[in-house]
Amino acid sequence: MDIESRLAELGITLPDAPAPAANYVPAVQSGNMLFVSGQISADENGLIKGVVGRDLDVESAAAAARRCGLALIAQARAATGSLDKIVRVVKLTGFVNSTPDFTDQPEVINGCSDLMVEVFGDAGRHARAAVSAAALPRGVAVEVEAIFEIAS
């Protein structure tokens, strides 16, 4: 099944690929690897801000991570022209703006990881890091970057 059809079947509408906010590009292709810059938590109402463990609970933060995943997929589509060029999700690195005593970063980043498997099936299973951050850009709750393998 093609990925666009899979998104429609799941009722998922991708956001527009966000423009870079500084001096970097949204994605870089090197060989058959696509490196997508970190996408920060945002939805149709704007940035999803806050410190997890203080302002947001795990469920809300996981939803924010899912939004990062939607932006990552949108960036991959913008970079490649078609999501059907995605061979697999290779790695996600997730950062959670959390209190010093918060230790459920993996459960937060599952919001993004689960989306990748939902959309890409077994090709969405990936290596991953989920780490705490004392602060993230613009005060957002979550940021996730990705590496995709693409067809040559």
Residue 1: per-residue pLDDT? 60
Query: Which pLDDT value is given to residue 152?
Result: 82
Distances (CA, A) of 28 to 36, 76, 125, 147, 149: 7, 10, 21, 10, 12
User: Domain residue spans in the chain?
Assistant: 30-150
Tell whether the model's pLDDT for residue 3 goes beyond 90.
yes
Euclidean distance between CA atoms 56 and 88, whole angstroms:
31
Measure the CA–CA gap between 145 and 18, rounded to whole angstroms.
13
| CA 64 – CA 2 distance, rounded (Å) | 26
Q: How far apart are CA 39 and CA 94, in angstroms?
A: 10
Backbone CA torsion sign across 146, 149, 151, 152: positive
Alpha-carbon gap, residue 106 to 57, rounded angstroms: 13
Tokens representing 99 are 């209190």
pTM (two decimals): 0.97
46-47 and 86-97 beta bridge pairing? unpaired
Mean pLDDT of the chain: 97
30-150 architecture in CATH? Answer: 2-Layer Sandwich (3.30)
| Dihedral sign (CA 137, 143, 42, 15) | positive
The tens digit of pLDDT for each residue in 77-128 reads 999 999 999 999 999 999 999 999 999 999 999 999 999 999 999 999 999 9
pLDDT tens-digit map of 30-47: 999 999 999 999 999 999
Confidence of residue 21 (pLDDT cuts 50, 70, 90): confident
